[in-house]
Amino acid sequence: MNYWLVKSDPETYSWADFTRERRTFWDGVRNFQARNNLKAMQEGDLVLFYHSNTHPGVVGIAKVVRTAYQDPTTTDPNWVAVDLEWYSELPQLVSLAAIKAEPRLANIGLIKQSRLSVMPITVAEFDLIVAMGNPS
């Protein structure tokens, strides 16, 4: 299993939208590195859902339920989409500030390549962020 982080502007597509719909296709990616990351996703991979811009942070977890296929928003064969299904909500937002403050997350793509919208993360990064969002 692989682990990923996807970013969405909540004014465009929010966690609340995803929670209501329970399944969506992740489209509109127009960066080759992010596209390659979409192509690398496999069914069952877990994905952190990150709100960008307004109150940036990780809000929940999705699961890949369909691998890469032609992005339905364009006829350009260079671009793909994947289907994501709602998996779980984090009880507490894991803010970008909290991620930046955590030394064990110093090398996460979210900080190193902050403009990339789809990125791989390690299992350790995934587990740590999930733990940060589930305070005891």
Look at residue 114 in the predicted model and tell me its pLDDT: 87
Whole-angstrom CA distances from 118 to 20, 28, 134 are: 22, 11, 23
The pLDDT score that the predictor gives to residue 125 is 98
Q: Which domain range does residue 63 map to?
A: 3-132
Q: pLDDT digits over 19-71, tens only? A: 999 999 999 899 999 999 999 999 999 999 999 988 899 999 999 999 999 99
99, 111 in Cβ contact below 8 A? yes
Retrieve residue 77's tokens.
């064969």
When divided into structural domains, the chain yields a total of 1
- For every residue of the chain, DSSP letters joined together read --EEEEEE-TTTS-HHHHHHHSEEEE-----HHHHHHHHH--TT-EEEEEE-SSS-EEEEEEEEEEEEEE-TT---TT-EEEEEEEEEEEEEEEEHHHHHH-GGGTT-HHHHTTT-SEEEE-HHHHHHHHHHTS--
- The model carries a pTM of 0.96
Per-residue pLDDT tens digits for 79-110 = 999 999 999 999 999 999 999 999 999 999 99
Q: Looking at residue 27, which CATH number applies to its domain?
A: 3.10.590.10
Q: In one letter, which amino acid is 68?
A: A
Cβ neighbours for 124, distance < 8 A, ≥ 6 positions apart: 104
Looking only at the bridges linking them, the beta strands covering 46-51 and 3-8 are parallel
